Structure 1
Amino acid sequence: MGERFANNNDHILVCLSSAPSNTKIIQTAAAMARAFHASFSALYVKTPASEYMEAEDKNRLLANIHFAEKCGATIVTACGDDVPFQIAEYARLSGITKIVIGRSVVGKRRFFGRPTLTEKLISLAPNVDIHIIPDSDAAIAKGKKTLFEKPHFAKLLKGLAISTFVLLLSSLLGCLFSRLGFTDANIITVYILGVLLIAIFTESKICWVISSVASVLVFNFLFTEPRFTFRAYGSGYPVTFIIMLAASLIIGGTTEKLKTRERQATQTSYRTKILFDANQLIQKASDEREVFQVTADHLRKLLSRNVIIFNESAEKICDSFTDTKDSPSKDYRQIVRWVINNNRKAGKGTGIYSDSSYVFLPICKNEKNYGAVGIFVGNNPIDSFDESIVVSAIGECAIAVDGIVNAKERERTAVLAKNEQLRANLLRSISHDLRTPLTSISGNASNLISNGNAFDDATKMQIYEDIYSDSLWLINLVENLLAVTRLEEGRMNINLTTELVGDVIAEALKHIHKKSEMQKITVIQQDELLLAKMDARLIVQVLINLLDNAIKYTPSDSQITITAKKDGNMISVSVSDNGNGIADEQKSRVFDMFYTGTNKIADSRRSIGLGLSLCKSIINAHGGEITITDNNPHGAVFTFTLPIGEVEIHE
């Protein structure tokens, strides 16, 4: 036994009941769990008799359940009429090593009586240690259970009326059978059938028990000699009466059990369906608010009570009401903050803010609190079975919200990592690409300063052009870097105005690389008055990048063509060349940031791969798109579209 404790694999189960002494049993089990560092669970078996439990017993049961929760127990509710079997099955499935029960729950074995709860548990769970706690309140703890649980008076009257009608009908049918010469056995069968019908159609055990006795008396009064008396001449009749009564009671009791089990099965099936539907919808939810709303709606369906959900800031997120008159009339944020901060439930029936008409439960996962659920209680406490389902539903909600929050956190982390990688790539690329033109500018300027008089005019002009060309390249690079920075920070403002496409193309041609003089650039416009909605400054930058790209990657004698035309409700602008083109496997990546491909630049200068990516971002921001296709017979065509513009004439 010492080895088992040392392994910390113990799981202690305490049985819950409405007995006043149950708190003592819970305390003992909790102390054992702490001493042996064991898992701790508390089980309540909901039997058919639970439906007729006195209000005082119900309140005491709820208090015991709450006390077990405070002691750190995991609350579990099972349904069934065989309490020992339910306890043993749960112990087997959950790996329970010790069961703690009170003597008042065990009962005493009477002479020729049925086995006690402890004897049944020992036979059903022989490998589990059963600890019986002495109880001085045993007499009180037995409660008020009698043969007849107290039904509602209206249901009792209805049941008695049905019973009277069925007995009358059975007697009339028995009289008919008697006239037709049927035997007493047939008439007895009719009365037993009547008891069966009464057990089916009435909700009170009293009705079918009284009917069982009454059917024997009526049969004796109407059909045994001497008739219309309660005497019987036949010596075998007393045995017949006893068997008839026993058969009626057995059939009535069996029918009552079947009805109860069917009702419990239907209720369990309905609740399972609601939980399954809720789980399916929660899995499809895209954000926390949707998860909370699904949870609130299904808890309302499950409990037929008002439900309110608050976030971690104690602000109301959503609600689902069955009755607006039960909606909260006061601010519950103080209670909700307490629930979230302490990770414990509070409100009606908990002893904390118990003047509230709502009970509040935390929505938490792995010590992370995401809010609280408020459920209307009023004067109708939530029973233990419903509460266990509520806890499961809230647990599913917490898991879903935790998953969404973690996914968003992972997404944010991935974005930060990507941005960090982009910055690293950018700095690495800039450090290489700035060095070449700056070295060229510095070297040429140094030559002019040191040996300027030694150069002829043609050489000086060539040096000036090289310095100017390198400075233009640097200016274009800086413009692209600034634009990328504005895009990343969301500071790029698009000021759309209606502009002439021809003017924008002409402006772009003024800023392109000087080496473009070696290529032939042609502009073809379908209409000289083509108008488009654009931010002219940004579209000029797009054209500069596309033209500079064509110049860098094509031989010096290449043909570059700029074509502008109307295409439906868009303006299409193309920049084509007759160079070597772009391989098909590279076309899907040419607009990716920092992608430079495998083509070599004509002047051997490296590219950092920002231009085309920036073009795509700018065109998308204008509501257009940019594509790449092959030119015929060879080369590449970059085409982008812009919304068509119209000139407003004000009279």
Structure 2
Amino acid sequence: MKESRPNPEEFLRKIKDEEKKDAKGKLKIFFGYAAGVGKTYAMLEAAHDAQKAGVDVVVGYIEPHTRPETMALLDGLEILPKLSVNYRGITLKEFDLDGALNRKPQLILVDELAHTNAEGLRHNKRYSDIEELLEAGIDVYTTVNVQHIESLNDIIASITHVVVKERIPDRFFQEAFQVELIDIEPIELIERLNLGKIYKDIQAKKALSNFFSKENLAALREISLREVADRVNKEVNINKSFSKSVYHTNEHILVCLSSSPTNARVIRAAARMAEAFHASFTALFVETIDSKELSESNIKKLRENLKIAEELGAKVETVYGNDIPYQVAEYSKLSGVSKIIIGRTKRKKSLFKSKLGYVDRIVELAPEIDLYVIPDNDDLVHKRNYVVKNIEISTRDFIRTFGILSIATLFSFFLYNLGFSEANIITVFILGVLFVSNKTDGFLYGGIAALISVMLFNFLFTNPRFSLDFYDPTYVVTFIIMLASALITSTLTNKVKQQAKVSAIIANRTNILLEASRELERANSLEDIIFTAQKQLYKFLRKSIIIYEVSNEEISNVYKQKNESLVKINNKYIVEDEKAIVTWVIKNKKRAGAETDTLPGAKATYIPLIGQENVMVVIAIVLKEDESVDSSEKSLLEAMLSQISFAIEKYTLNESKKMALMQAENERFRANLLRAVSHDLRTPLTSISGSASSILNNDFDEDTKKKLISDIYDDSIWLINLVENLLSASRLDDGKVQLKTEPQLVEDIINEAVTHVNRKILNYNLKIDLANDFIMADVDVRLIVQVLINILDNAIKYTDEGTDIVIRSFTKGNKVIIEVLDNGLGISKENQECIFDMFFTSSENKGDSRRGIGLGLALCKSIINAHGGEIYVRNNKPKGTVIGFTLTKVEVNNEGFNFSS
């Protein structure tokens, strides 16, 4: 683990913040949970203490109380005159801000931070007055109750059923230099209220029956205590980030996991301690290069110990590195561990070993953390089971070893012939051993190279040469030092290689998590998330993954991996017996299957991913016979499962939010529709009933009857068109309309629309302008005819009779364009932007009794968009409006239709 060092930029920022704070005044808040707890009394006492210490103290404003013991504390303090303000014939006494700034004391007392100032003063709120005092470098003492903090207003209102209108921003409480909690028992506060020490008799009775109930006061007290505790906790965390020392304000117990037979006893002791201290509990396993090569019995014991830790509520974590004490100490420092529990097995005393090993190293590396050693009191001496690996002889490594030694020997001969000393030749051989250790695997070849190097040096370069004998007895020391140097060099090189392997493992697993996070972030659907999860889990575990989607506590879908070979494997495991286990997992929200205590005979391990309440998916990790998930992989697996769970839950919540918004929009649409229909149907219905009643009850002449019948007909046609638009809008909104498109002549579409349009079209000069008689478009005829009818009705509504209305059609590229032109009043730019919106009606109506509900053109837009076209509006020249839309062009050739799009 890397050493955690403070960020220099953070230090610089803190220094600058401190400089700014030094220039400003300091705010001290006397904080309570209700009136009468003694805030003002405590503030005045603190003011007297400050005055005795030589501080220039002034009382800026103290709320006039009927509490003699509080008001008596004003004696001996300089009181700033209050400011008189006339408000609606009443003279109010307020805090004189300008007087305080002119007096500029070192410390000023201003009661009631949340107070609202009278109208006409510089600031609406007293906290703004205090801000100005602080900016002027004046220290301020003030008082406030918990119910006046902005973020707590709703919570307190739900408790007391009183909405406090005078509130302060949270930043005043958070940024105050000091907050002193003034606290008394609620029972004592109620007694003070009964004795009339807080309010007069009438006010006291009213307060006791409302705000000052025992339950309310207890709840308010809890909230105020929690707010102060949270503030202290934030301050501690900030100080920790800038402090080199490690300290803890809450308990966090760490137990070290191993394959030792006594480790289970250590874990149980740690669990008891965690429960006694109400502490967080973590079990840490340090994975080394040798962890992969443990014996079967040790691996089994490690899994048992890990399982015990999980059952006892420990959070299992894994770190990587060969220096176990260092990893334990660094993890403890970074994770805020307060106590480390470690086991120590009894061993035979050694002449050369007097230390406890790991224990002493941890104490040395983390002296500020309590270390508890649980000794093994069994009579048996437990020894670590090292695995004696079958040494695999590598021909390639042997060739490299002898090749490097040959080169070193030849180079030594070269130096010897040039007259270099023996020390230089020894260095060449040590360098050769270093190269051998670097280019081969394991300690074996480095050790062999070291031994052979000493023998070669003796045989080739010491007298008598070409013999293993030597005349000079000092060569014994030379040989020993040379062998030791070569072996140490070889050992250090191998350790560096091992550390590189550990770093590679850490980097690989970090990359797996990062890649999984990125891939899951890119997924746009639940299916994408599940297939991404399968791919990433398989990449990490190299085991088949099956994911069961859950809906209403039942399996709704089964996702196999996309790889064909894996699909064949997965099919063997998707059987009724295994599905029954999945069903059990869904209902019980617990893991089951292989490597668990529940249905361990299953072919896979089944892991539920639980959302807010229910299981979202069940992940099956297929395990072949005698196959398992390594304990070292479990922590990373848990991290990946958390990522997957978060991604699925996020997607589910987003979909729920979209559905809720859609439902709200539908409800809004229905409400607007009902409101519009109920309002706008009255006029035509009243007209129809009135005209019919007149015909029935009066003997009109033929012309009058014809006029009334004509009005009835016009109103009924308007109602028919309205109902048709309503039905179409409803179907489009529900997504139930299926377009039935086919090539159609545009001329036929226009003629069909003209025959069904309002008969008032006869009062206009209707012109049809076709660029080509054989223009064809791919359309749903019924819907496009309705579009044209709506646009023509709109033109009739806003255009004077006797004027021109033109329908023209032409082609442009692969599009057919149809436009309706009138020379009416035109449409303003503001209205052009929203003319196609639902329920929009123009204020420029000529006064037609049937003003419409704003569905016609909105429906046109929906229909044209469904056809893949566009609808638009612009002003006609010299006056009037042009509404047009585009459709897909169809060309006719000898082989049939050709769709230009």
Q: Judging changes above 3 Å, is the alpha-carbon distance between structure 1 residues 156 and 443 closer, same or farther for their aligned structure 2 residues? A: same
- Displacement of 1:424 in angstroms is 0.8
Please identify, of 205-214 and 169-178, the stretch whose mean Cα deviation from structure 2 is larger: 169-178
Within a 5 Å distance, the mapping from 1:77-116 to structure 2 comes to 77-104=318-345, 113=354, 116=357
What residue is the counterpart of 1:474 in the other structure? 719
Asked if the contact 1:326/1:376 (under 8 Å) is kept, the reply is no
Structure 1 residue 219: deviation in Å?
Answer: 4.1
Aligned to 2:511: 273
Q: Distance in 1 between matches of 2:344 and 2:702?
A: 117
Alignment check: 8 A CA contact 2:346 2:375 kept:
no
Q: Where does the alignment leave 5 or more consecutive residues of structure 2 unmatched?
A: 1-228, 230-247, 896-901
Letter of the structure 1 residue corresponding to residue 690 of structure 2: G
**2:685 matched to which residue of 1?**
438
Unaligned runs of 5+ in 1: none
Which stretch shows the higher mean deviation, 267-276 or 195-204? Answer: 267-276
Contact 1:365–1:402 at 8 Å: present in 2 too?
Answer: yes
Q: 1:106 to 1:325 in 2, by over 3 A?
A: farther
Which deviates more, 464-473 or 247-256?
464-473
Q: Is the 8 A contact 1:578 1:634 kept in 2?
A: yes
Size of the aligned set, in residue pairs, is 641
TM-score, L = length of structure 1: 0.86
CA contact (8 A) 1:46 1:80 kept: yes
* CA deviation map 1:335-386 (0-9, x unaligned): 4444555555444444555455654444445564323142556555443333
Alignment correspondent of 1:248 = 486
- State the match for 1:403 in structure 2: 650
In structure 2, the residue corresponding to 1:153 is in which secondary structure? coil
C-alpha deviations, 1:491-533, integer Å up to 9, x for none? 3343445555444434433443344444333333345565544
The whole-number CA distance in structure 1 between the counterparts of 2:354 and 2:413 is 41
Cα distance, 1:194 vs structure 2: 2.9
CA contact (8 A) 1:300 1:321 kept: no
**Aligned residue type for 1:38:** A
For the Cα contact (< 8 Å) 1:17–1:44, is it kept in 2? yes
Q: For the residues of structure 2 that align with 1:315 and 1:327, how far apart are their CA atoms?
A: 18
Secondary structure in structure 1 of the residue aligned to 2:561:
strand
Distance 1:131 1:505 in 2: 93
Closer/same/farther in 2, CA of residues 572 and 389 from structure 1, 3 Å limit? same
Deviations 1:23-60 (A, max 9, x none): 23223333444444433322111123324322322232
Worse-matched range after superposition: 222-231 or 243-252: 222-231
In structure 1, the partner of 2:271 is: 30
Q: 1:294 to 1:530 in 2, by over 3 A?
A: closer
- Do 1:305 and 1:321's aligned partners in 2 also have CA atoms closer than 8 Å? no
Report the alpha carbon displacement of residue 631 of structure 1 after superposing the two structures with TM. 1.3
**Which of 413, 427, 430 is equivalent to 1:192?**
430
SS in structure 2 at match of 1:75: strand
CA separation in 1, counterparts of 2:847 and 2:765?
15
Q: Which amino acid aligns with 1:23?
A: A
CA distance in 1, matches of 2:785, 2:413: 109
* 1:64–1:598 distance in 2 versus 1, CA, 3 Å: farther
Could you tell me which of 313, 319, 344 is aligned with 2:561?
319
CA drift at 1:612 = 0.8
Q: Check whether the contact 1:103–1:138 (CA below 8 A) recurs between aligned residues.
A: no
Q: Distance in 1 between matches of 2:658 and 2:348?
A: 60
- Is residue 889 of structure 2 the alignment partner of residue 633 of structure 1? no
Alpha-carbon distance between aligned partners in 2 of 1:395 and 1:412, rounded to the nearest angstrom = 25
Q: In 2, Cα distance between the equivalents of 1:45 and 1:589?
A: 66
Whole-angstrom distance in 2 between the partners of 1:140 and 1:343: 43
The residue that corresponds to 1:429 in the other structure is: 676
Q: Does 1:289 align with 2:527?
A: yes
Does residue 486 (structure 1) correspond to residue 731 (structure 2)? The answer is: yes
Using the TM superposition, give the Cα deviation of residue 228 of structure 1 relative to its aligned residue in structure 2, in angstroms: 7.0
Deviates more, 1:169-178 or 1:27-36: 169-178
Following TM superposition, by how much is the alpha carbon of 1:594 offset from its aligned partner in structure 2, in angstroms? 1.4
Contact 2:824–2:879, Cα closer than 8 Å, also in 1:
yes
Distance 1:532 1:468 in 2: 34
Q: Deviations over 1:266-290 (max 9, x none)?
A: 2332333343233222222211222
Q: Residue 480 and residue 354 in structure 1: after superposition, are their counterparts in 2 closer, same or farther (change >3 A)?
A: same
Structure 2 CA distance for aligned equivalents of residues 107 and 407 of structure 1: 63
User: What is the CA–CA distance in structure 1 between the aligned matches of 2:440 and 2:797, rounded to whole Å?
Assistant: 94
Deviates more, 1:112-121 or 1:18-27: 112-121
Shift of 1:485: 1.9
d(CA) in 2 for partners of 1:526, 1:13: 86
For the 8 Å contact 1:593–1:610, the answer to whether it is kept is: yes
Change (3 A) 1:335 1:30: farther
- The corresponding residue for 1:40 is 281
Q: Which amino acid aligns with 2:662?
A: V
Per chain length, whose mean CA-contact separation is higher, i.e. which structure has more relative contact order (CA < 8 Å, sep 6+)?
A: 1
Of 352, 355, 361, the match for 1:120: 361
Per-residue deviation, residues 278-304 of structure 1 (Å, max 9, x unmatched): 322222221122223233333333444
How far the C-alpha of 1:428 sits from its partner, in A, is 0.9
Q: Find the residue that maps to 1:599 and give its secondary structure.
A: coil
CA distance in 1: counterparts of 2:395 and 2:604, whole angstroms: 35
Aligned-pair CA distance for 1:577: 0.7
Of 526, 537, 541, the match for 2:782: 537
Whichever residue aligns with residue 84 of structure 1, its letter is P
- Checking the alignment, whether the CA contact within 8 Å between 1:501 and 1:532 is kept in structure 2 is yes
Match of 2:809 in 1: 564
Corresponding residue number in structure 2 for 1:615: 860
The answer to whether the 8 A contact 2:446-2:490 is kept is yes
Task: Tell me if structure 1 keeps the 8 A contact 2:289–2:501.
Answer: no
Q: In structure 2, what residue type is equivalent to 1:627? A: Y
Query: In the superposition, relative to structure 1, how do residues 172 and 569 fare at CA in structure 2: closer, same or farther (>3 Å)?
Result: closer
Q: Distance in 2 between matches of 1:132 and 1:398?
A: 38
AA of the residue aligned to 1:383: D
Residue matched to 1:383: 630
Pairs within 5 Å for 1:173-192: 174=412, 177-178=415-416, 181-192=419-430
The AA in structure 2 aligned to 1:144 is N
Match of 2:767 in 1: 522
Change in CA separation of 1:338 and 1:194 when aligned onto 2, cut-off 3 Å: farther
Comparing 251-260 and 203-212, the one that deviates more: 203-212
Work out which of the residue numbers 365, 389, 393 in structure 1 matches 2:640.
Answer: 393
SS at match of 2:322: coil
In the aligned structure 2, how far is the partner of 1:443 from the partner of 1:469?
Answer: 14
Question: How many angstroms apart in 2 are the aligned matches of 1:634 and 1:388?
Answer: 75
Q: The residue matched to 2:508 in structure 1 has which SS?
A: helix
Provide TM-score, normalisation by structure 2: 0.64
Tell me the secondary structure at the aligned position of residue 345 of structure 2.
helix
**Once superposed, what is the RMSD of the aligned Cα atoms?**
3.7
